[in-house]
Chain A
Amino acid sequence: MKQRFPLSYLLLPVLLLALLLPAGCGRDAGIQTVRVGVALYQQEDTFISTVAQNLELLAREEELARTIKMNLTLADGRGSQSTQNDQVDRFLAQGCDIICVNIVDRTAAAVIIDKAQAADVPVIFFNREPVMEDLARWEHAYYVGSKAEQAGRLQGGIVKNAWQADAAALDQNGDGVLQYVMLEGEPGHQDALLRTEYSIQTLTQDGIPVEKLANDTANWQRGQASLRMSQWLEEFHGQIDVVFANNDDMALGAIDACLSAGMDTASLPFIVGVDATPPALAAVAEGTLKGTVQNDAAGQAEKILDLIGAFIDGTPVEDAVELEDGKYAWLPYTTVTADNLDAFL
């Protein structure tokens, strides 16, 4: 058995070399093909998959409009930066013309930007904002997304309006203080930190007395949020006035926990989320979710496609998309409550 291996090991490089020779022939002419690699941090994240679906939809439209072929390759990073880096390597090796990255770890963008720069392939980050210094490393690194603190302010605003309109309706134990729990996104994520900070700041700066009962991370996930909420319901029975969730998946998780604890729609605490994902909008319609903030999935996809279009045409990107500092394409957040729900359905 021992002697059998070496021969075949020799075969591999020989064949590889033999294959190198005929390489380099031209690609078939005709319709222009644009290859776009899209690396997602976690495809099962409802918001991210909505953006991805929008991207695919718009890419099909773009194909028709421009009579080109747009090859959109999606890759799911499954929450691991090293997996995502490998995927980016593959995109670049594969000859992608543009890569879009929904980065796993916002502090790790420098590695990806350097790779893209070495291959001279523009890189568009979206929804998860890389650190500013990293983005400044190369002129063809862009960011499409929304300002996290605005989401926090608007989310706080929903609660503020409800409290100011009828404090007694929110105040379950009638002590005049707004008791809340906070379901946070993954630790260290800037959206999680900023949404948490600004939602509460919006309340305190208007002099509303608040008391934090508990906060914990649920990693943006519905299941984890439901678990945390069940524990809190037992621990603070009848005291929780408001549940802030950094995103809708977690808000829905909190609702799951409350409903399975035997509450009905009327006795639910005031639960708010961020993102306005389709299931969350359905929950707003039902009245279980009191409000959310629309993170514009379609808008993000549209801006990304606009940038891609500019690269294809070779026109200056500033003409196609309004950019701050030549890098940032910002999308506004919008408040969604039962009052204006119809506009979003």
Chain B
Amino acid sequence: MKPNKQLALVIDLNVCVGCQACVTSCKEWNTSGSAGPLNDLNAYESSPSGTFFNRVQTYESGVFPNSQTIHFPKSCLHCEEPPCVPVCPTGASYKRKEDGIVLVDYDKCIGCSYCSWACPYGARELDQERQVMTKCTLCVDRIYSTTLPESEKKPACVLACPTSARIFGDVHDKNSEASKAIQERSGYTLMPEWETQPANHYLPRKINEDIHSQGDQR
């Protein structure tokens, strides 16, 4: 029962520099919309706590001097088999047939948090003040906007990224930029062991050995 169209993000780990611009632009757009704010509690106190749809994390691998630092953006992966959807008792959590975006209907959500338990990625956050489950919407209100210019009908994080590490598109359309990136650069999904078939893909690091050897020559 796969939707014909599956909008998703493809994230290039080669060029993500961990600047957090996608995090702040996401928050800025999604806290300002008609769907309601993403609340921050104690924002200016010693223990702030807030709702975000997107985070950039940092990992290291290897052992010095052959180590790498990897900046790793993480948001809802809009799974093709989303485990969070069937568990929702009210039907508030749903996957759109027309474009595969997984959304929450705040009017129906009773804040039971069960969908967040059923997501292995921790992609959902219960807003502390509104007491409804929130998550990345792929900026559904931007991409179908009737007022924004065509060039801005993309998720806020994609527009904000200074290194174009985020590719937005239909991963079921073989000719889309996103699909081509996945195919040509062996895009992969997270936690394939749970068979959730995430729509979002990641492009693996390609280590350029030449840089290192050139550095040695200098």
A, B from the same assembly: no
Query: Which residues of A pack against B, CB within 8 Å?
Result: none
Listed in ascending order, the chain B residues whose CB lies under 8 Å from chain A are none
